[in-house]
A and B are shown apart, each in its own frame.
Chain A
Amino acid sequence: MTSFVNLGRETGRSTWAVSGHALGFAALLIVAIVAPVFVYPVFLMKVMCFALFACAFNLLLGYGGLLSFGHAAYFGSASYVAAHAAKVWGLTPEISIGLGVLTAIGLGAVVGSISIRRQGIYFAMVTLAFAQMVFFFALQAPFTGGEDGIQAVPRGELFGIFSLASDRALYPFVLAITFGGLLLIYRIVNSPFGEVLKAIRENEARAVSLGYHVNRYKLVTFVLSAGLAGLAGSTKALVFQLATLTDVHWSMSGEVVLMTLIGGMGTIFGPVVGAALIVTMQNYLAVLGGWVTVIQGVIFVVCVLLFRKGIVGVLTGNIRSPRVKSRRKSQK
């Protein structure tokens, strides 16, 4: 019963919500265009890539209710493929990124189809297992360069015409990709597909009884999430001209969870805020050295205890308390 009521409330407020979101997008766009005047552009591009990564992850977690522990696998593998394509095959940036995204989609399809059969923590552990296997592959395969990674990746010329070598030229490109990705996620979430997804998250049994092929929806979401994470990873490879093992390590998977949690699961802008906060903290508090880890730990603890809705969730007074799908004993 509860989920239907929520859905109804949701659709009833849609006009308000839509204009609120439109305002949010517009504000973000303005900030993103103006910011490079004040802030170092490469830092901003890093924030954008991670914002896209976190939003992609949020699609699966906040809206799909599935916690994946191995999202770094898609981010990182796309990063390696794009880097290799740009450096060794000399392909133009849009093709390199495209190849990266295709890799992530393929990997997501394989892992997703196997892990979807499980629930809750088991699902998470299967995704972790596959991520570790991807890490192992990245470590051993000669083309990835092991510990050194793929370095000196050329940024190339967009469509073979516009050189992206300078930060100034690259910035609009990254901006376009990030916003494109965010808008795509917004469209997915606020579509009939998205509504069914939320229904599945709230009460899977009921959705099944209504005749929805639940596993199919979950798989599609998984693949979309992986593909968008791959988009973020490929773009990041060009911004930093590097693809390394950090991109596929399980701590990267942990960071994206942190970003989504702080920002607000199940909100559109939450992960953007979370990503901005975490990346800023890592950069500007780098002078604190080892204490950054401790601070991240404290943020985790405080957020989980007091701040579960995340920053954006609290600010927008989100009614839905973010709850992850799993077997809850109380419901039996």
Chain B
Amino acid sequence: MNTKALMSSVLLSCWVIAPASALEVKLGVLTDLSGVYADLAGEGSIQAARMAVEDFKGSERGINVTITSADHQNKPDVASSIARRWVNSDGVNAVVDVPTSSAALAVNEIVRDANALHLNSTGGTSDLTGKACSPHTVHWTYDTWSVANSTAKAVMDTGLKSWFFITADYAFGHAIERDASAFVETHGGQVLGSIRHPFPNQDFSSFLLQAQSSGAQVIGLANATSDMQNSIRQASEFGIKEGGQSLAGLLVFLPDVHAMGLQAAQGLYLTESFYWDLNDGTREWSKRFADARGGNMPSMVQAGVYASVLHYLKAVEASESTDADTVIAKMKEMPTDDPLFGQGKIREDGRKIHDMYLFQVKTPEASTGPWDYYEVVATVPAEQAFRPLDQGECPLVNN
């Protein structure tokens, strides 16, 4: 057959096969553009969503995707009113990202009875797939249970058994401390004490002093972002490591390490589900991301936005609908596979599972350049990394 005829028949068949009307999908990236999570999520999350839409090539499949975004300023009331307006009045089909546990819970409620989905990547609370679980929510990248348990498990596997916690005095901090302590105590470790600091806080010297005098092998930091960064920098000032104690950050992200600098953060143990330098797949995607973001490598939550949006769009295509119940059933039915998180799946309670990795922050000498911060210490397989289905008290799970 001559090439011209082949080409024309291929083109013709494409045109014939294409659906008569396109599916309209509207995504809303609800993130923090001006507060403590702006570097972690923020504009990067919007960028990640855009990349997912571009890579999906919806126009070739008869699906038109538009993206809108807003800043919820880490406040549950702002998040709630934006999500409410989007879902009830602006025709948004999926609310994506949503940092800050309180905001995530608020959006969770808005979406529960509406015809829209909540694809959460940055919010931490494990209640999203536990007590507060909803048929319309997918919790992607991580949660408080998984980071607390994975970090505690992996640190204890290196032989460090006695712990002291410095906890931020709010729900998130309490939850992480509770989950990590429970793990430590049921696995042959000891919790020598804990202390709660006001949230947010600038000066940790007195709390570090108490941690030092407890003699614990590990000081677990049950706090995040600037509190955690300040704790770590001041810990190096007070010679914590020289005194023989290790620091475990129960929630640390790559941009935090970048902000602290290796001098202060070296030796820190942390758990993440994604790192730009893990494998060729992550490297290739991250480089594309960084080129659009002025050289800043993606955080795991930004990777989560990409992966969750991509999987959502695939489910929309497969079910040929934007109806929330139909699409989410499809999302849970289809196993996930992307270059960022590898293979995984979404459970009945909305929890996406994938491997988690224990990293240790490199010393300044060992690092070859900016963003080369982590060494992989251990991998926690997906089935063990997240809270077992029957322990979450989620009403959607038939026990």
Contacts and interface: CB of A to CB of B under 8 A. Distances in A.
A47 to B, nearest CB: 12
B381 to A, nearest CB: 31
A275 B96 CA distance: 30
Nearest to A41: B89
Contact of A151 (B38, B81, B106): B106
A145 B172 CA distance: 11
B372 interface: no
Interface of chain B, helix or strand or loop or mixed?
Answer: helix
Contact of A139 (B69, B70, B71, B170): B170
Nearest to B110: A241
Interface size grouping (class) on chain B: 20 to 34
Interface stretch (B72-80, B347-355, B361-369, B387-395): B72-80
Interface in A65-96: none
A46 interface: yes
A215 B148 CA distance: 56
Contacts of A247: 77
A244 B81 CA distance: 13
A290 B109 contact: no
A290 B78 CA distance: 14
A217 interface: no
A293 B73 CA distance: 11
B33 interface: yes
Interface in A148-162: 148-149, 151-152
B364 to A, nearest CB: 32
A241 B108 CA distance: 13
Nearest to A79: B77
A147 B102 CA distance: 6
Nearest to B42: A289
B85 interface: yes
Contacts of B170: 139, 146-147
Contact of A242 (B38, B77, B82, B85): B77
Given A286-B71, A290-B34, A149 B102 contact: yes
A244 B171 contact: no
Given A40-B85, A43-B85, A242 B34 contact: no
Contacts of A242: 76-77, 80, 106
A188 interface: no
Contacts of A149: 76-77, 102
A141 B85 CA distance: 31
A289 B76 contact: no
A286 B85 CA distance: 13
Contacts of B169: 139
Contacts of B71: 286-287, 289-290
Given A147-B172, A286-B70, A152 B109 contact: yes
A145 B199 CA distance: 15
B34 A42 contact: no
A306 to B, nearest CB: 27
A139 B78 CA distance: 19
A240 interface: yes
B70 A148 contact: no
B105 interface: yes
A246 B34 contact: no
A287 B78 CA distance: 13
Contact of B171 (A147, A240, A241): A147
Interface in B98-117: 101-102, 105-106, 109
B300 to A, nearest CB: 22
A244 B85 contact: no
B78 to A, nearest CB: 8
B296 to A, nearest CB: 17
Interface string B25-39: 000000001100010
A182 B240 CA distance: 60
Contacts of A292: 34
A252 to B, nearest CB: 10
Interface in B54-103: 69-71, 75-78, 80-82, 84-85, 89, 101-102
A139 B197 CA distance: 13
Contact of A289 (B34, B77, B82, B89): B34
22 contacts: A42-B84, A42-B85, A43-B81, A46-B81, A139-B170, A147-B101, A147-B170, A148-B105, A149-B102, A151-B76, A240-B77, A242-B106, A244-B75, A244-B76, A244-B77, A246-B75, A246-B76, A286-B70, A287-B70, A289-B34, A290-B38, A292-B34
Given A286-B71, A292-B34, 7 more contacts: A42-B84, A148-B101, A148-B102, A148-B105, A148-B171, A286-B70, A287-B71
Interface of A: 40, 42-43, 46, 139, 145-149, 151-152, 240-242, 244, 246-247, 286-287, 289-290, 292-293
